[in-house]
């Protein structure tokens, strides 16, 4: 009898100790087309977990909760995402969710998180459309597609108040088209004349015809592009054709390190980026960009890209919301997220509370990078926003 | 105004390369009645051959010579393995056979190089000729196409072997009766056709990025150019290519770039309506 009471007491204490964890569920694309980026993102999330657990866990009230991650391989497939998120919620009974990588998979996960009323922090997802469906439980970390190029236009106007004509030439893919369409209305509202607005087939290798059109249009600046292959070829041929543009900003391609292979053709080309290691944000809480970079380099042996930063940011934002709410209750955490308005190492975080776009990221801005020559070598410098820059914008570039 | 001229000139230059590729296709058809469906994959192979020779340190333009020779050898091999036995059978057989060769080339190519884009990084100068901006790569490629075409004409009309090729093309039985070893001629012709295709691929590689699948669109344009000029007629193929290039160049400034191919093929159908045997007539 005494033994039974003792065992029960031990079990009670043990379970009391075990109850001191928060479980966060997510899926990772360990296989499939999103493999590289998704694992990158997971590395950032795991780094955050390690960092917060080293401090004893997330403080909630006067207790500290260690973070446990529960994740499965979604194989980069939408059906797997749906199955696995349902499982995470109903069987594994996770407390909170983080999204998979990519807008496509996140859209599927959001359906599930909304069904069960579980808070999900969406990172690695830039689509606007997920947030136009009236969901209440999904919160976006990345700058949405609609604002990918808007900061670029702000930067252009700040550099040249007399700029009038802009060309928007984009890859005819869903993502690039969405970015370009949003950029067009933003540019027109800013008083610019969009002299050329045209899409090119994704497999284009000869940009000659469209470059001729750009020249004929009299455009002073060009924004657009799509993904790496076409963006790099476009930039190279723009240079070869001696296109008289004062500014060229392309999606994705110039933000990658391999862009330097273009040599002189890369000089002056700008791109929007969710985050860069050298960015100079002053955070209100959490780590500084420099601390994140050195932690990451120590843990993984290389400089983090923005996907890893997005992962860490997701964990950090969730942590802050829980701390602000002082509770693990989903409704209270949602309220804390709705009220959030701060700067972390990743940038500003502020979510939309308008029911038509609830959860859309309003505060975070794309940083703009530009390729410049430093000590004879091509490097990526951050030129916007002005508060986070590492170098001045070169304008005009040619 | 300048942009239209610029566009048309660009079209002319690329049209010469289309022409070169088309001659390769039409020659094979003219000599042996075979529609070579491996044409596109061989063009892509030409792109990768240049990449490999360039990677080995050879000057990209000097590398065109080994590419040409490699193409010839490869063409002879394809002929001996995939075409020779079925040359007298129904045309569907050769169609399937060359298609199979194409699948093999693409399959092996994908295994070796995946479907990522590659570039031959040539130092290309940008020249400004009376206001027309053109890269040296494009000019040299067009020039090479013209030179090789002249060389082919010299071969076909000024050499005995060339005469034999034309004889077999005209009437194989009669040529055999005259003592011409037709099997050897067929192999040589297939070799030349393949060599021209590989060379055009290499020339394209000096200008644009490519993957193992890049041959497809050029194969399509080769067919169009060949039919435009009259299937089996090398001169026709060259002009067909030039016309195609000029069409592309003249419509591009006025429409969305995605529509260029559509307009091209619509015009092609229209031309065929009025000239069913092609603009210069086909092989008799």
Buried b (16+ CB within 10 A) or exposed e, B210-236: bbbebbbebbebbbbbbbbbbbbbbeb
Same domain, residue pair A264 and A252? yes
Binning pLDDT at 50, 70 and 90, where does residue A228 land?
Answer: confident
Integer Cα distance of A72 and A191 in angstroms: 48
The total domain count for chain B is 1
Q: DSSP assignment of A186-213, as one string?
A: HHHHTT-EEEEEEEE-TT----HHHHHH
Look at residue A398 and tell me if it is in a domain.
Answer: no
Task: Give the pLDDT confidence score for residue A257 in this predicted structure.
Answer: 80
The answer to whether A172 contacts chain B (CB < 8 Å) is: yes
CATH code (residue A213): 3.40.50.2300
Look at residue A394 and tell me if it is in a domain.
Answer: no
The answer to whether A291 contacts chain B (CB < 8 Å) is: no
Look at residue A337 and tell me if it is in a domain.
Answer: yes
Query: What order do you get walking across the sheet with A120-122 strand by strand?
Result: A58-60, A63-73, A21-28, A96-98, A120-122, A138-140
Query: Which structure tokens are listed for A90?
Result: 């109903």
Look at residue A356 and tell me if it is in a domain.
Answer: no
User: Does position B284 have pLDDT exceeding 50, yes or no?
Assistant: no
| Per-residue pLDDT tens digits for A84-111 | 999 999 999 999 999 999 888 999 999 9
The total domain count for chain A is 2
Look at residue B73 and tell me if it is in a domain.
Answer: yes
Same domain, residue pair A137 and A195? no
Integer Cα distance of B225 and B244 in angstroms: 7
Q: Among partner residues B7, B124, B248, which is closest to A240 by beta-carbon distance? A: B124
Q: Min CA distance, A233 vs chain B (Å)?
A: 7
Residues in chain B within 8 Å Cβ distance of A172: 258
| Predicted ipTM of the assembly | 0.81
Residues in chain B within 8 Å Cβ distance of A233: 117, 208-209
Task: Count Cβ atoms within 10 A of the Cβ of residue A375 and give its class: 0-12 exposed, 13-18 middle, 19 or more buried.
Answer: exposed
Look at residue A393 and tell me if it is in a domain.
Answer: no
Same domain, residue pair A287 and A267? no
Look at residue A357 and tell me if it is in a domain.
Answer: no
Same domain, residue pair A111 and A224? no
Q: Among partner residues B128, B133, B258, which is closest to A200 by beta-carbon distance? A: B258
| Per-residue pLDDT tens digits for A47-96 | 999 999 999 999 998 899 999 999 999 988 899 999 999 999 999 999 99
- Give chain B's mean pLDDT: 90
Same domain, residue pair A242 and A322? no
Look at residue B279 and tell me if it is in a domain.
Answer: no
Task: Give the pLDDT confidence score for residue A19 in this predicted structure.
Answer: 53
Output the CA torsion sign for B249, B255, B256, B259: negative
Model pTM score: 0.79
- Give chain A's mean pLDDT: 91
- CA nearest to A240 within chain B: B126
| Per-residue pLDDT tens digits for A107-157 | 999 999 999 999 999 999 888 889 999 999 999 999 998 999 998 999 999
Binning pLDDT at 50, 70 and 90, where does residue B283 land?
Answer: low
Same domain, residue pair A73 and A196? no
Buried b (16+ CB within 10 A) or exposed e, B137-148: bbebbbebbeeb
Hey, are the CB atoms on A241 and B133 less than 8 Å from each other?
yes
Higher pLDDT pick, A90 / A227: A90
Look at residue A227 and tell me if it is in a domain.
Answer: yes
- CA nearest to B251 within chain A: A209
Query: Which structure tokens are listed for A267?
Result: 């000089």
Integer Cα distance of A65 and A67 in angstroms: 6
The answer to whether B244 contacts chain A (CB < 8 Å) is: no
User: Does position A16 have pLDDT exceeding 80, yes or no?
Assistant: no
User: Does position B51 have pLDDT exceeding 60, yes or no?
Assistant: yes
Binning pLDDT at 50, 70 and 90, where does residue B231 land?
Answer: confident
Residues in chain B within 8 Å Cβ distance of A198: 256-257
Same domain, residue pair A294 and A202? no
Output the CA torsion sign for B35, B36, B37, B43: negative
Hey, are the CB atoms on A209 and B7 less than 8 Å from each other?
yes
- What residues contact residue A388 under an 8 Å CB cut-off, 6+ apart? A279, A280, A281, A347, A367, A382
Phi, psi of B248 (to 5 degrees): -55, -45
Q: Can the peptide bond before residue A385 be classed as cis, meaning omega within 30 degrees of 0?
A: yes
Interface of B with A in 6-35 (CB under 8 A): 6-7, 10, 14
| Per-residue pLDDT tens digits for B153-184 | 999 999 999 999 999 988 999 999 999 999 99
Pairing of strands B132-135, B126-129: antiparallel
Using alpha carbons, list the distances in angstroms from residue B33 to B87, B102, B218: 8, 18, 21
CATH code (residue B50): 1.10.3470
Q: Which H or E element spans position A138?
A: strand A138-140
Q: DSSP assignment of B205-238, as one string?
A: HTTS-B-TTTHHHHHHHHHHHHHHH-TT-HHHHH
Instruction: Determine the number of helices (DSSP H) and then strands (DSSP E) in chain A.
Output: 11, 15
Same domain, residue pair A263 and A313? no
Q: 3-state class of A266 per DSSP?
A: helix
Hey, are the CB atoms on B208 and A213 less than 8 Å from each other?
no
Same domain, residue pair A267 and A182? yes
Q: Which H or E element spans position A371?
A: strand A367-374
Q: Among partner residues A201, A208, A229, which is closest to B258 by beta-carbon distance? A: A201
Look at residue B109 and tell me if it is in a domain.
Answer: yes
Same domain, residue pair A179 and A61? no
Q: With contact defined as beta carbons under 8 Å apart, do A21 and A282 qualify?
A: no
Boundaries of domain holding A252: 147-273+366-388
Look at residue A24 and tell me if it is in a domain.
Answer: yes
Task: Give the pLDDT confidence score for residue A15 in this predicted structure.
Answer: 54
Phi, psi of B197 (to 5 degrees): -65, -45
Hey, are the CB atoms on B257 and A201 less than 8 Å from each other?
yes
Query: Which structure tokens are listed for A259?
Result: 């862009």
Hey, are the CB atoms on B252 and A212 less than 8 Å from each other?
yes
């Amino acid at each position: 009898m005494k033994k039974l009471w003792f065992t029960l007491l031990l079990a009670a204490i043990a379970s009391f100790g075990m109850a001191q964890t928060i479980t966060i569920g997510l899926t990772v694309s360990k296989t499939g087309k999103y493999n590289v980026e998704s694992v990158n993102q997971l590395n950032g999330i795991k780094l955050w977990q390690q960092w917060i657990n080293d401090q004893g866990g997330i403080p909630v009230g006067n207790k500290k909760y260690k973070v446990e991650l529960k994740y499965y391989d979604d194989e980069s497939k939408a059906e797997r995402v749906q199955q696995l998120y349902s499982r995470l919620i109903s069987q594994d009974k996770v407390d909170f969710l983080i999204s998979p990588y990519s807008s496509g998979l996140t859209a599927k996960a959001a359906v599930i998180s909304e069904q069960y009323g579980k808070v999900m922090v969406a990172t690695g997802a830039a689509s606007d459309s997920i947030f136009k469906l009236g969901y209440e439980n999904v919160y976006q970390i990345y700058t949405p597609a609609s604002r990918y190029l808007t900061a670029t236009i702000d930067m252009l106007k700040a550099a040249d108040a007399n700029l009038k004509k802009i060309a928007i030439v984009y890859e005819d893919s869903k993502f690039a088209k969405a970015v370009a369409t949003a950029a067009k209305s933003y540019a027109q509202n800013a008083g610019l004349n969009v002299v050329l607005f045209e899409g090119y087939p994704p497999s284009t290798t000869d940009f000659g015809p469209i470059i001729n059109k750009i020249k004929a249009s009299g455009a002073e600046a060009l924004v657009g592009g799509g993904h790496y292959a076409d963006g790099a070829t476009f930039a190279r041929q723009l240079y070869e054709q001696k296109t008289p543009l004062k500014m060229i900003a392309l999606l994705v391609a110039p933000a990658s390190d391999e862009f330097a292979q273009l040599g002189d053709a890369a000089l002056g080309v700008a791109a929007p980026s969710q985050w860069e290691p050298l960015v100079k944000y002053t955070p209100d809480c959490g780590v500084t960009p420099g601390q994140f970079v050195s932690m990451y380099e120590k843990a993984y042996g290389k400089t983090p890209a923005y996907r890893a930063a997005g992962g860490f940011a997701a964990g950090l934002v969730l942590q802050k919301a829980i701390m602000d709410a002082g509770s693990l209750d989903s409704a209270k955490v949602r309220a804390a997220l709705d009220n959030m308005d701060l700067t972390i190492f990743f940038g500003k975080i502020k979510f939309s509370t308008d029911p038509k776009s609830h959860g859309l990221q309003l505060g975070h801005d794309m940083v703009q990078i530009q390729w410049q020559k430093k000590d004879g070598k091509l490097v990526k410098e951050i030129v916007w926003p002005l508060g986070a820059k590492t170098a001045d914008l070169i304008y005009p570039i040619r | 105004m300048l942009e239209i001229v610029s566009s048309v000139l660009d079209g002319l230059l690329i049209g010469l390369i289309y022409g070169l590729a088309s001659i390769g296709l039409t020659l094979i058809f003219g000599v042996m009645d075979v529609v070579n469906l491996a044409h596109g994959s061989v063009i892509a192979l030409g792109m990768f051959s240049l990449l490999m020779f360039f990677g080995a340190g050879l000057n990209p333009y000097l590398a065109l010579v080994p590419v040409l020779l490699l193409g010839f050898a490869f063409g002879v091999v394809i002929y001996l393995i995939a075409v020779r036995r079925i040359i007298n059978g129904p045309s569907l057989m050769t169609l399937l056979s060359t298609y199979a060769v194409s699948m093999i080339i693409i399959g092996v190519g994908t295994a070796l190089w995946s479907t990522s884009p590659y570039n031959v990084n040539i130092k290309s100068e940008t020249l400004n000729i009376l206001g027309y901006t053109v890269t040296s790569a494009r000019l040299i490629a067009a020039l090479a196409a013209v030179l090789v075409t002249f060389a082919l004409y010299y071969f076909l009309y000024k050499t005995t072997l060339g005469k034999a090729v034309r004889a077999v093309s005209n009437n194989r039985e009669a040529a055999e009766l005259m003592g011409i070893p037709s099997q050897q001629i067929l192999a040589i012709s297939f070799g030349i056709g393949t060599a021209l295709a590989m060379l055009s691929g290499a020339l394209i590689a000096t200008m644009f990025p490519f993957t193992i699948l890049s041959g497809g669109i050029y194969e399509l344009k080769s067919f169009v150019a060949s039919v435009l000029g009259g299937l089996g007629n090398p001169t026709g193929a060259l002009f067909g290519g030039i016309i195609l290039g000029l069409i592309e160049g003249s419509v591009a400034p006025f429409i969305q770039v995605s529509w260029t191919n559509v307009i091209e093929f619509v015009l092609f159908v229209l031309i065929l309506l009025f000239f069913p045997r092609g603009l210069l007539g086909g092989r008799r």
